[in-house]
Amino acid sequence: MKSKLFLIAFMLVSSFCFAQDVEISGKVNEAATGLSMPGVNIAVKNSTVNSVTDIDGNFSITVPTGSTLVFSFIGFESFEMVAITTQSVTVNLKETAKTLDEVIVIGYGSQKKKEVTGAVSVVSAETLGKLRPVKVEQALQGTVSGVNVTTQSGSPGAGLDIRIRGIGTNGAAGPTVIIDGYIGELGLLNPQDIETITVLKDAQAAIYGTIGANGVVLVTTKKGRKNQKTSVSYNFYTGFQETSRKLPTLNGTQYAALLNESYANGGQPIPFPNLSGLGKGTDWQDQVFSKNVPLISHDLNLSGGSDKITYSLSGSHLDQDGIVGPDKSNFLRNTARLSLGADLTDNLKLNTNLIYTYFNRRTLNENALGSVLFNALNVSPLQNLRDENGDYTLVPATSGFGNEIINPLAQIDNTYNSYYYKRINGTFGLDYTVIKGLTITGRMGFNTANSNSKSFSKIVDYGPGKIYNVTRSSVSQATVNDNSYTFDLFGVYQKSIAESHNFSFTLGTTVFKEWGTGLSATGYDVPNNSWQFADISLANGLPLQKSAGSYKYDERRLSYFGRLQYDYKGRYLFSAMLRRDMSTKFGPDNRVAYFPSVTGGWVLSDESFFKQNNILSFAKLRASYGSLGNDQIGNNLYTALLSGEATYVFDNALTTGTAVGPIPNPKVKWEAAKKFDIGADLNFFNNDVTFVADYFVDTRTDLLIPNIPVSGILGASAPGSSFPTINAGDVKNYGLELAVGYKKNLSDNLRIDVNYNVTFLKNKVTKVDNATGFLSGGGFGLGEAAARMEVGKPMGYFYGLKMEGIFQNQAEIDAAPSQSGLGSQSTQPGDIRFADINNDGKIDANDKTNIGDPIPAATMGFNINLQYKGFDFVAYTFASIGNDMVRNYERNVPNGNRLNYVLNRWTGEGTSNSVPRVTTGATNNNVFSSYYVEDASYARIQNVQLGYTFDEKLLGKSGPTKVRLYAGVNNLYTFTKYRGYDPGASSGAPIGSGIDYGFYPVARTYMVGANINF
């Protein structure tokens, strides 16, 4: 009996225990993208029971009831759930906010973020996806400390300039861009093809030697993942654009009243005796700026992989019209990309990446005197658009309007040009593991590009005496072929000794070559005076021999480099680099240069004396020092070329021929940079708060200064010749960078990511060793030099007279130094009073001084990203403080229109001390002075976006894995006191960059879009 009872009890207990096993199955996805995640580990907490998701992210595991399942994957936050009953679940893993184990590309290798000893910043694909920039460069503005991005123009497809830690040269100041190992162009990439952008700002870039002085931007494009089924991602947005700003010009009545006063002050009859009935007149900006201008973008990506192969295939289409003359100003870009990786053997891996880019662009005359916007601001509001015959009206041919102000609508209508560009570039690479820890990489990168451009000048009459009149039609065409290749061969050997001493050795060589040709020609008398027939083959007017030109170039660089990286238990970090470069851009005496650098770091938080606490989670100090170079200079400066002009006598007849061009300098060499940086990386509150600080000094020497005077017997004054270019300039940039971030999942439904960065910068020229001690650039008005590079001053500072106010009466004029040395012999009350800088009792060109600095004293960015359940909100802002700009978009002619600030002009004693009187008479008020320099500090809301991601349960198992819809505004609003269109615009020239000729404003864009994954 007892044995039977025992058997029954055993069976009951066994049944009870069996009933406690439950099966949990389902799928694991990335929360951000909705893509399935293979290889996710699912483990029972405090047990050895575990499972792993398959290639589709699916899993199934049987566990006892009440067990806690832990889902984990590197780079993602672990997720826990309690198994209560058999069920199917979908788990969405979120990227971890703790980034110390994040791998960062540093050039010819990578490092964990914790071990990086240089000043390095990273922009992720997630940030690019939120910003949706038309051009990649825009994504660096406000997101990376120490980086300033300025627009050359807001027209579609216009270039942007990147400056890293200031302006260090009077030549090419942009960084080198490395795309998957080859030298490329950032602005040609589809932003959605990019996985990460890494910015090397200090001596960490010394591994790139003579191309690293201006900083290095490393771009890694997207690749497929192993053991992942094919996933499809489609991104789309469309919207409409409008100008972000109109300038407050005078209306018709105000304009007429101003002219009456101006003519009366000049002793001339007033042009408008009766102001009644004039009204507001024509608002030319309303006529020039279009509204609801379309913008559309499509992007499609397929990616996946097996155990041996990964692949990623994408294509994109962008079509953007301009807010000024959209029929004559637009940009279309198509791209295609293929990335393929294959494990050919256990030790040999193949990596390929190909990118095809095509774009065409049409432009208007902009950012210059006589541009479309220049004319829209200066033409009379009392002029009609068209005359009684329906033709565009002509600006009167009087001296009051000058000879360059024309009807801007006629100008748009008569503008014809096109530019077509095709490019294919990529890399082919092999990685071979020789032995454990030693990998040899061979990689070939290439670029080949072809472009064709055409411009047509039709016969047109803008009015008598206008400089833009065309009396004979012409067509100019050009074709350019540019090529380059990069071959890298390097080995990386990693070795650990006693699990404490970790070494990494890199040794390699790089061969770089670039070559190309260009051909251009101009023909006259285009048939039918029509764009349709504008082709060089049809323009057969006399002379029959077309005006033609061509060029050819071939430059090479051979480099060797080595790097040693060492750390002790990840606590003490050290790196040393050396690169040897040899370039054909320099003469035999200076063809070779060496660029050494060292970096070091100390992870204090790993020390035994560092007590674990809830406040400071991680602390690292680092420093770097090294030499880098800049070879972005003109070709063949060291040798004489037959590029000059000369007249010879043959058979008693004068014959035009060639002669020696610019005088060569056989000792020309690289510009050199010595970079010092000391920084700290601190994480607080379990790494939820990050803080990065860097103090940097960038000292440049041997800048190339053109036109250094030498003996005239050498022929520098001949046509096409000039004085030589010599290494004779130095400049110094120094400052402080601070960046703070807070990233945390506040709950299962709420996530916050907030970042702020600020950079304080000082720039000072320390040497200009030419005959004058300065180098001029830029232009004000009709050509007055307005900017300089001079010792003790910032690069490109504004050089002019200093305004001290307005003369209120004749007594003040009599007591002040004479201003007759400026040109006008008459100074009257209401004219500008200039400062006598040298105290010699007179005002002349010797009193010009520093009146402004185009380089901002500080730049900063503030970005916020909120996610609540399915909703997400992002906002990106940028600010520039302390930069000045020259107001040069007003033509100083009597009848030109003006901005409404002139309503506060001087009209009598005590009425104004800031805006001078108006008059048709000669004055010195038009001489370049601080009156035309304005504070262009600004803060801009760059991007605001609100999105919603649909719950996966609503999409169904056979439908898309993710659907996100969003609406946003780019360039929402700019806070500034600057009067011009865009305080953030720049010509990009180191000397003269802040002179505003009427910069084409960056459009405000309202958009809606969708991100759909399958």
| pLDDT, tens digit, 9 for 90 and up, residues 952-1010 | 778 777 778 889 999 999 999 999 999 999 999 888 899 999 999 888 999 999 999 99
Q: Output the pLDDT for position 844.
A: 94
Superfamily of 18-93 according to CATH = Carboxypeptidase-like, regulatory domain (2.60.40.1120)
C-alpha closest to that of 27 among 95, 83, 93, 96: 93
Q: Output the pLDDT for position 17.
A: 44
Q: Output the pLDDT for position 97.
A: 52
C-alpha closest to that of 778 among 994, 1000, 978: 994
Q: Output the pLDDT for position 14.
A: 46
Residue in this structure with the two tokens 């958009």, named with its chain if needed? 1007
Local structure of residue 929 (DSSP, 8 states): B
Those residues of the chain that have pLDDT short of 70 are 1-20, 32-33, 74-75, 96-101, 544-545, 712-715
| pLDDT, tens digit, 9 for 90 and up, residues 692-749 | 999 999 999 999 888 888 776 666 777 777 888 889 999 999 999 999 999 998 988 8
Local structure of residue 826 (DSSP, 8 states): -
| The dihedral formed by the CA atoms of 90, 96, 101 and 102, expressed in degrees to the nearest 10 | 90
Q: Output the pLDDT for position 319.
A: 97
Please give the backbone phi and psi of residue 110, each rounded to the nearest 5 degrees, phi first: -150, 165
Please give the backbone phi and psi of residue 898, each rounded to the nearest 5 degrees, phi first: -135, 165
543 cis-preceded (ω within 30 degrees of 0): yes
Local structure of residue 528 (DSSP, 8 states): G
Whether the predicted model's global pTM rises above the 0.75 cut: yes
Please, what is the Cα angle at 46 between 45 and 51, to 5 degrees? 50
Q: Output the pLDDT for position 1010.
A: 96
C-alpha closest to that of 789 among 800, 797, 781: 797
Q: Output the pLDDT for position 11.
A: 46
How many Å apart are CA 442 and CA 426, to the nearest integer?
14
- Non-local (6+) Cβ contacts of 292 within 8 A are 240, 241, 242
Written out in words, the top-level CATH class of the domain with range 103-227 is mainly beta
In angstroms, what CA-CA distances link 273 with 47, 258, 261, 399? Answer: 98, 12, 11, 20
C-alpha closest to that of 86 among 65, 103, 69: 65
Question: Over the Cα atoms of the chain, what is R_g?
Answer: 33
Local structure of residue 638 (DSSP, 8 states): T
The string over 991-1001, giving b where at least 16 C-beta atoms fall within 10 Å of a residue's C-beta and e elsewhere, is bbbbbbbbbbb
Q: Output the pLDDT for position 653.
A: 83
* Sequence ranges of the chain with CATH classification 2.170.130.10: 103-227
* Sequence ranges of the chain with CATH classification 2.60.40.1120: 18-93
Please tell me whether residue 203 adopts helix, strand or coil conformation: helix
Please give the backbone phi and psi of residue 827, each rounded to the nearest 5 degrees, phi first: -120, 130
Please, what is the Cα angle at 730 between 727 and 732, to 5 degrees? 155
The string over 722-761, giving b where at least 16 C-beta atoms fall within 10 Å of a residue's C-beta and e elsewhere, is ebbbbbbbbbbbbbbbebbbbbbbeeeeebbbebbbbbbb
How many Å apart are CA 831 and CA 906, to the nearest integer?
8
C-alpha closest to that of 329 among 360, 287, 285, 369: 360
Cβ atoms 178, 80 nearer than 8 A: no
Q: Output the pLDDT for position 771.
A: 84
Please tell me whether residue 410 adopts helix, strand or coil conformation: helix
